[in-house]
Amino acid sequence: MSQMPQPTALSRCPSCEEPLESGDRYCGACGYDLSVVPAPPADTPTLTMNSTAPHPRSEADSVDWPAAPPSGGPGVPAPVHLPTDIQGTDSGGSQLPAASTAKDVSRGVRFDRPSEPDDYHLAAPQPVDPRTAVPATPPSGTKVCVACRAGNVDDDGYCENCGHAQPRERDHVEQELGAVAAVSDRGLRHHRNEDAFAVSSTALPDGSPAVVAIVCDGVSSATRPDEASLAAARAANEELLDALPRGTHPQQAMHEAIVTASHAVNALATEPETAQEHTPHQNAPACTLVGAVVTSSLLVVGWVGDSRAYWIPVDRSAPPARLTEDDSWAAQMVAAGLMSEAEAYADERAHAITGWLGADAYELEPHTASFKPDRPGVVVVCTDGLWNYAEAAEEMAEVVPPGAELRPLHTAQVLVGHALDGGGHDNVTVAVLPFPAPPQGAGSA
């Protein structure tokens, strides 16, 4: 069965390009048999993933494929071309070396990348985090804030950057000179440390050692109590270091040292800053004082006010003792027989002092006492910031750690810690002197 010729769907004659009409079987111009022309395939465009037909290719997009080489003969398969056999072109149309094309392409190298410069521009530095940055070394003599570690401290003691108040140098002070040590602390309630101390050692005319400790407590109700205590401690210490090597008896030297300290405190009241005629509402600077001198055979104490000295023997089976008597309202009541000691110190007026160093003191009465202990021990010289938490001699002996005569600084630290643990309501200052005084050059263990 033969196939019937089908009407052509051509628009032009394949022979003469004459326009055709639908249903023509022959060209009206040249008579070409249109039935021999195969019908065109149905137009089914390829859709992209977004279901839109691709743009028609332009002549510029056409590829001139090379003709396939003839086969190698019957039974010989067509040659297989590997990527290394094909010459590549770069983005400009230039031929690429065949040997390097596949090698470099397989490594993901792009040959259309522009040439790179030999030098690279560095990115702008990022700001430094001040929390992790190492602070620069400040100029010599400049104080840096302990809070932010960035700002400088002004003359008033405040940070110029964050405004934080800086700890004062006297808030906590420690000093050790072999056979004597002292610690002073501001405490937990006061805004500054109004205590002061001085420790030193010297030699008597016979070459034997003499160790000195002076502890002063500024009177808070007076003007500039911190300056008063510091002036008194320094003046008394200097007087003792001058008098003892000259052969002055230690008890007499202590008396003179207290008088000298009183003059130093009185001088503060005559300065224009606190002179009474300029500032009549201010009290004169004032403080208390207690001191001790320890030699190879003698123990001397001196005091004015309510700071104290205690004797703690190394042999704890021997009784301890308080070596001073307070210049206070409570002590006067007990001495007059008007109250028992328990009643007097329970009164709210107990710590009102009746003797002090200062221009407005009623009358200076230095107290001194001399002892010749028959056994080794330690002398604890302290302000009421400590003895308020260990008032009786037995209580103080319980707080003093064993081996205190070998470690005076450690002992002073323990005693200050006891006061702070008890509440630290006042400034705390403690000096510890082993007895007898060790030979010159011998230090604590």
Classify residue 259 by burial, with Cβ atoms within 10 Å: 0-12, 13-18, 19+: middle
Three-state secondary-structure class, residue 276: coil
Cis peptide bond upstream of 436, omega within 30: yes
Q: Within its chain, how far is the Cα of 56 from the centroid?
A: 74
* pTM of the predicted model over 0.75: no
Q: How far is it, in rounded angstroms, from Cα 155 to Cα 187?
A: 24
Residues 285-302: tens digit of each pLDDT = 999 999 999 999 999 999
Residues 304-361: tens digit of each pLDDT = 999 999 999 999 999 999 999 999 999 989 989 999 888 888 888 888 999 999 999 9
- Name the nearest CA neighbour of 428 among 217, 213, 265, 180: 217
Residues 137-153: tens digit of each pLDDT = 666 667 777 667 788 88
Produce one character per residue of 236-255: b if its CB has 16 or more CB atoms within 10 Å, e if not.
Answer: bbbbbbebbeeebebeebbb
